[in-house]
Structure 1
Amino acid sequence: MSKTAKLYRMVMDKHVCPYGIKSKHLLESKGYSVEDHWLTTREETDAFKREHDVQTTPQTFIDGKRIGGHEALREFFGKARDPNKKTYRPVLAVFAVGLALAVSLSLFSFGTAFTVRTAEWFVAFSMAMLAMLKLQDVEQFSTMFVGYDLLGRRFVPYAYAYPYLEATAAVLMAGRILPWISIPVAFVIGSIGAISVFYAVYIQKRDIKCACVGGSGNVPLGFISLSENLAMVGMAIWMLVRPTM
């Protein structure tokens, strides 16, 4: 027996509700035949909301029962998201893309995937992407950063400067340009960061969010956060002992 659902969503010339599209896709992926009702004007949408005493659209009905909007529909199918759930996904995504870029460039340059330059590019590209995420909202990043960084809480301008320092070191290291700038910058900020994370996580046993992907992520401060700083320190030391390739 086929399963049928009724979906009411906004579809107008200048606005098509993205949650309506996702709701339709979710229903169809679960084997439902969707009676897709378009609300094509603001007046029609407002009348629908009044009739069903709801504040938002889309709205899904299954077996005559109102399920609700997109998030309610996800919950109905056991796919609810916890906005407060901590996850390392943002950092792991950066590392994965950084590694893929490094491997691709190594294949192009040397004809093989894994070289010394692959490792260098992986660190540099990952640093650059993490810095870019911080630079999207330096104010929010700095607020989170001073919560655990030992230098940032004592000298707030350092919290604002950190993303720019990290980005500068990353770009220069990627091309091994101006090592007399990139090496000390990466070593200093990486060392301070590593000590700060270690102290907050392993000494104070604090359960807080990391500012490593900027202020928008819900990444827990921990070993993955520590690895970012250790990688910077390691890269600086490596470039110091191997100044040329």
Structure 2
Amino acid sequence: MSKDARDCADVTADPVTAANGKTAVLYRMALPSHLCPAGQKARWLLERHGYEVDDRLFRERSEVDAFKKSHDVPTTPQAWIEGERVGGYDDLRQKLTNYDPDATTYKPVIYLFAVAAATALILSIGFLGAVTWQTLGWFISVSMILLGMQKLRDIESFTTMFLNYDLLAENG
């Protein structure tokens, strides 16, 4: 079980010497008005991979700013494992899970089509009592709705992409 979070970050203790074996040192924000989600995810990831977390919380903004300046880091959380600084949450995730943010993954699209297929089957069996050709129509319809919703996640990017395919906008 990990150590309880401290009332405030111990910036005087050297994280390099404290981060040995299966103990990781994690500095993260827990301000009265903001609990850092990346810090929470970093702690969960460390615990999931069997590390005892020496959790050092910043309770005031001035502590965060002083820490970032003294360690020359742009952000918190910051983690140390086996005597060396790993970095923030993204760096920690890459180290512990071999996650590659630039790798192409088709999992979201596969999940989207799986949900569309399940929805079409449920609609078909619910309304018609059997799987018919209408199931394929519902699958396509639900897929188009879900794909359209994906575009709403980043409208700016979608409109820019759309303009790249608009021949009239190119000549304008």
Question: Is the shorter-chain TM-score for this pair beyond 0.5, marking a shared fold?
Answer: yes
Which has a greater percent of strand?
Answer: 2
Structure-2 residue corresponding to 1:127: 144
Tell me, in whole angstroms, the C-alpha distance in 2 between the residues paired with 1:137 and 1:27: 31
Tell me the SS of whatever aligns to 1:31: coil
Identity of aligned residues (%): 45
1:105 to 123, 145, 150: 123
Query: Are residues 1:45 and 2:64 paired?
Result: yes
Residue among 63, 66, 91 paired with 2:85: 66
Matched, 1:21 2:45: no
Q: Which has the higher contact order (CA 8 A, sep 6+)?
A: 2
Displacement of 1:17 after TM fit? 0.9
TM-score (norm 1): 0.54
Match of residue 9 from structure 1: 28
Alignment of 1:69-218 (within 5 A): 69-83=88-102, 85-112=103-130, 114-147=131-164, 149=165, 152-153=166-167, 155-156=168-169
Q: Deviations over 1:47-98 (max 9, x none)?
A: 2222322221001112332111111112322523233x33434433322221
* Contact 1:67–1:73 (8 Å) recurs in 2: yes
Tell me the equivalent position of 1:189.
Answer: none
SS in 2 for 1:140: helix
Q: TM-score, normalised by structure 2?
A: 0.74
The total of aligned residue pairs comes to: 150
Measure how far apart 1:119 and its partner are.
Answer: 1.3
The one-character-per-residue Cα deviations of 1:128-157 (angstroms, maximum 9, x if unpaired) are: 12223334555532432343x4xx32x34x
Query: Within 1, Cα distance between the matches of 2:154 and 2:47?
Result: 38
What is the one-letter code of the residue matched to 2:74? Q
Change (3 A) 1:17 1:108: same
Q: Secondary structure at the match of 2:74?
A: coil
Unaligned 5+ segments in structure 1 are: 157-245
Contact 2:29 2:58 in 1 (8 A): yes
Say if 1:88 and 1:120 are closer, same or farther in 2 by CA, change over 3 A. same
Opposite residue 13 of structure 1, the aligned amino acid is P
Q: Distance in 2 between matches of 1:124 and 1:135?
A: 17
> In structure 2, do the counterparts of structure 1 residues 110 and 145 end up closer, same or farther at CA, with 3 Å as the change threshold?
same
Residues 9-61 of structure 1: CA distance to partner in whole angstroms, max 9, x if unpaired? 00122211111111111111111111111111101111222232222100111
Unaligned runs of 5+ in 2: 1-19
- The whole-number CA distance in structure 2 between the counterparts of 1:82 and 1:136 is 18
Task: Report if the CA contact (8 A) 2:21-2:82 is conserved.
Answer: no
Could you tell me how far apart the structure 1 residues matched to 2:95 and 2:140 are?
Answer: 42
CA-atom RMSD, angstroms? 2.4
